[in-house]
């Protein structure tokens, strides 16, 4: 029992010293945060939006049009989802999937790891267009 108490004290002490940076891995367990965090793993990025799938689809199509990028629709693996390929320097594979009732999951797959910045830029364009669509 003493080991558990000392371990908990050490954990919280380190979090206070480091500015709670060590608590970041606990966030997905404690609760889900939408609109703002894009997680990267290998050549794939995932971001969640607190909006319906049609709004996100419209925002992605509008973002592609604004950047003069060609979008090719593909057959989606999920019945209510969308699968797109955006033609640019290095093609982006985009999956738009329903996650929960009013939450949409957007997955961007990119082959060249150096174009992570472009995918991040593309997410920013999507964010701006979602806000524009919501305003009307």
The whole-number pLDDT of residue 129 equals 93
On whether both 10 and 58 belong to a single domain, the answer is: no
Coil vs helix vs strand at 63: helix
On whether both 37 and 96 belong to a single domain, the answer is: yes
**What average pLDDT does this structure show over 121-134?**
91
Q: Tell which residue, 24, 17, 25, 48, has the closest CA to residue 130.
A: 48
Range of the domain at 19: 1-31
Q: Which residues pair with 93 in a beta bridge?
A: 85, 109
On whether both 7 and 51 belong to a single domain, the answer is: no
| pLDDT tens, position by position, 105-121 | 998 887 765 567 777 88
On whether both 68 and 17 belong to a single domain, the answer is: no
Q: How many CB atoms lie within 10 A of CB 104?
A: 25
On whether both 77 and 116 belong to a single domain, the answer is: yes
Place of tokens 């955006």: 86
- Judge contact between 126 and 67, C-beta under 8 A: no
On whether both 44 and 85 belong to a single domain, the answer is: yes
Whether 3 shows a pLDDT value over 80: the answer reads no
Q: Tell which residue, 118, 112, 126, has the closest CA to residue 56.
A: 126
Coil vs helix vs strand at 17: helix
Instruction: Write out the H or E segment, with its range, that includes residue 131.
Output: helix 116-135
Instruction: Write out the H or E segment, with its range, that includes residue 39.
Output: strand 38-41
Whether 21 shows a pLDDT value over 80: the answer reads no
| pLDDT tens, position by position, 49-104 | 999 999 999 999 999 999 898 888 887 776 788 888 888 777 788 999 998 888 89
Instruction: Write out the H or E segment, with its range, that includes residue 74.
Output: strand 70-74
Whether 28 shows a pLDDT value over 50: the answer reads no
Coil vs helix vs strand at 3: helix
In the chain, % of residues over pLDDT 90:
21
C-alpha angle with apex 106: 101 to 107, nearest 5 degrees? 140
The whole-number pLDDT of residue 112 equals 63
How many structural domains comprise the chain? Answer: 2
On whether both 61 and 128 belong to a single domain, the answer is: yes
């Amino acid at each position: 029992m003493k080991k558990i108490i000392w371990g908990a004290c050490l954990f919280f002490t380190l979090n206070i010293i480091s500015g709670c940076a060590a608590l970041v891995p606990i966030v997905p367990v404690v609760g889900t945060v939408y609109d703002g965090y894009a997680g990267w793993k290998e050549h794939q990025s995932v971001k969640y939006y607190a909006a319906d799938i049609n709004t996100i689809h419209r925002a992605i199509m509008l973002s592609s049009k604004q950047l003069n990028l060609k979008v090719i629709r593909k057959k989606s693996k999920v019945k209510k989802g969308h699968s797109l390929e955006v033609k640019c320097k290095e093609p982006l594979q985009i999956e738009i999937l329903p996650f929960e009732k009013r939450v949409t999951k957007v997955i961007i797959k990119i082959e060249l790891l150096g174009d992570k910045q472009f995918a991040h830029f593309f997410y920013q364009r999507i964010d701006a267009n979602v806000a524009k669509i919501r305003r009307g």
